[in-house]
Structure 1
Amino acid sequence: MAERSAGGGVQSVERVFELLELITDAGGSATLSELSATAGLPLPTIHRLLRTLVKLGYARQLPTRRYVLGPRLIRLGEGAGKQLGALATPVLRKLADEVGETANMAVLDSDQVLYIAQAPSRHSMRTFTEVGRRAHSHATGVGKAILAQLTDEQVRGIVARTGLPAATPASIPSIEGLLADLAIIRERGYAIDEQEQELGVRCFAAAVPDAPTPTAISVSGPVSRVDEAFGERAVPMLQAAAREISGDLALQHA
């Protein structure tokens, strides 16, 4: 019979999900000893749980004996992303109507941002980011709003794994510059993409508080329309929309 945890759950299930999250936090790859040290569990227990995850396809063991996330998690992640995007879409549509520009939502996935929902602007000249597209976090408004939710150590880990490829000449070129920008974002409560992902496009982004995974929403458009005056008007609406999505998520889990 399965062991019960102090909170009334099933302890083995809790441990399995803890292992998956630890592998994710380690950048998607970890050794048995690293997981044992971080989780504070005996090696035989960790090995038994990982063996089950590998058998089911939710983890893989590389020839180097490191464990990585398995392919069966992709389908679960895609399904969860669609549900999260579907929940947020009405709020994004309202936001896009209010500010007159395209609204997007993205989550952190495998060290990159993954766009999961969008409400397009009604302008004929508008920005367009395909749902399902991935981008480097340091060069996007949603990405920087997401990174600002992490510790500097976690950000350094992501950059060590992905680098800082320049999407445009305006992209942030160094980890020191990125960390300085993230400190400003944390203080003022929103991020700005100053043509760092695409020349001629400016983006304002804000984190979704208390989301189950680091999440952010944004409004973006041509720099001719999305200027400082636009930001002063749109940022409070953007932040209100992020809080509304956070509230909707809380209701889903109540």
Structure 2
Amino acid sequence: MAPHPAAPTLIGSVQRALRLLEAVGSHVDGAPAKQLARETGLPLPTAYHLLRTLTHEGYLRREKGVFVYGEAAERLTHGGTAQNRRSKIEESLAHWRDVIGAPVYFAVYRDGEIELVAVADTPTAPPVDEWDDFRATGHAHAIGQCLLSQLDEQGRRDHLARYPVRPVTPNTVRDDRALLERLSTVGRMEPLIEREEYALGTVCAAIPITVGSTAAAMGISVPLHQQERLVPAVERLRAEVGRLVGSLAFSISI
């Protein structure tokens, strides 16, 4: 039986379409179909057909006789950029994890929500188990308290109106008023420490990070029986961040 030609034909079409996309990307102001066909070595009718298909699917736009990237291609580009940013953040967290010897967390406060962006941990230094919704329990963990401490009073009250204080462990702050009083006493760039307020058997600390106008924080956690490590570790983290953050491309656009 003769081999079915559809698969190799389809693969060939995809390869030719990708060559056209690469050719379009090499021209800042776009390029006409004849030039793209010549640069990719494709017959002009084939190039026209693929360019029309790519335009119909949103990967290209035709403007004043030249082809440029469309929204679909731009989404792919932005996705790759976002992944690169996330990788840089994860690499940075892994560095601090190795320096400190404890799990390291990075979180931001975005669109009224606490968002845990990345965590670096190891099998011998596991992260805190998110047994209760991390976003809804910002009052109970160091990362959340650190982020809330960077908001103004109205921002804190708006957050607590959506996520009121509730007991997570027997050590959780007792009510909204007590939490607001605690947050009002936190100095700028001062570490925030909590002991077994989110998870029994764990103590945590977090420091604020400047990322434009967005509240961000880095945190660490250690088991309760190692709590004497917490303050030296968070001070080490603060020193490392102060020394290295200027050379790192922290981004929250991910």
For Structure 1 versus Structure 2, the TM-score category normalised by the shorter chain is 0.5 to 0.7
Distance 1:133 1:152, change over 3 A: closer
Quick check: 1:236 aligned with 2:211?
A: no
Query: Which shifted more, 215-224 or 81-90?
Result: 81-90
| Poorly superposed stretches of 4+, deviation over 6 Å | 250-253
Quick check: 1:93 aligned with 2:90?
A: no
Task: State how 1:9-48 maps to structure 2 within 5 Å.
Answer: none
Instruction: Determine the C-alpha separation between the residues in 2 that align with 1:233 and 1:218.
Output: 13
Task: State how 1:1-150 maps to structure 2 within 5 Å.
Answer: 85-123=86-124, 127-129=128-130, 134-150=135-151
Q: Is the 8 A contact 1:104 1:219 kept in 2?
A: yes
Kindly name which structure, 1 or 2, has the bigger radius of gyration based on alpha carbons.
2
Distance 1:241 1:128, change over 3 A: farther
User: Structure 1 vs Structure 2: percent identity of aligned residues?
Assistant: 23
Counterpart amino acid of residue 231 in structure 1? L
Q: Is the 8 A contact 1:191 1:205 kept in 2?
A: yes
Structure 2 unaligned residues grouped into runs of 5+ = 1-74
Q: Could you say what secondary structure the match of 1:186 adopts?
A: coil
Distance 1:165 1:112, change over 3 A: farther
Counterpart amino acid of residue 213 in structure 1? T
- Normalised by the length of structure 1, the TM-score is 0.58
Instruction: Determine the C-alpha separation between the residues in 1 that align with 2:125 and 2:191.
Output: 27
Instruction: Determine the C-alpha separation between the residues in 2 that align with 1:252 and 1:111.
Output: 14
Residue 200 of structure 2 aligns with which residue? 199
Q: Is the 8 A contact 1:192 1:203 kept in 2?
A: yes
Counterpart amino acid of residue 181 in structure 2? A
Instruction: Determine the C-alpha separation between the residues in 2 that align with 1:106 and 1:251.
Output: 11
Counterpart amino acid of residue 235 in structure 2? P
- Normalised by the length of structure 2, the TM-score is 0.58
Q: Deviation string for 1:115-143 (max 9, x for gaps)?
A: 1111104526653459x964421111111
Q: Is the 8 A contact 1:95 1:237 kept in 2?
A: no
Instruction: Determine the C-alpha separation between the residues in 2 that align with 1:159 and 1:197.
Output: 17
Distance 1:114 1:82, change over 3 A: farther
Q: Is the 8 A contact 1:202 1:223 kept in 2?
A: yes
Structure 1 unaligned residues grouped into runs of 5+ = 1-74
Aligned residue pairs: how many?
Answer: 175
Instruction: Determine the C-alpha separation between the residues in 2 that align with 1:84 and 1:210.
Output: 13
Q: Could you say what secondary structure the match of 1:139 adopts?
A: coil
CA RMSD, 1 decimal: 3.5
Residue 167 of structure 2 aligns with which residue? 166
CA displacement at 1:164 relative to structure 2? 1.2
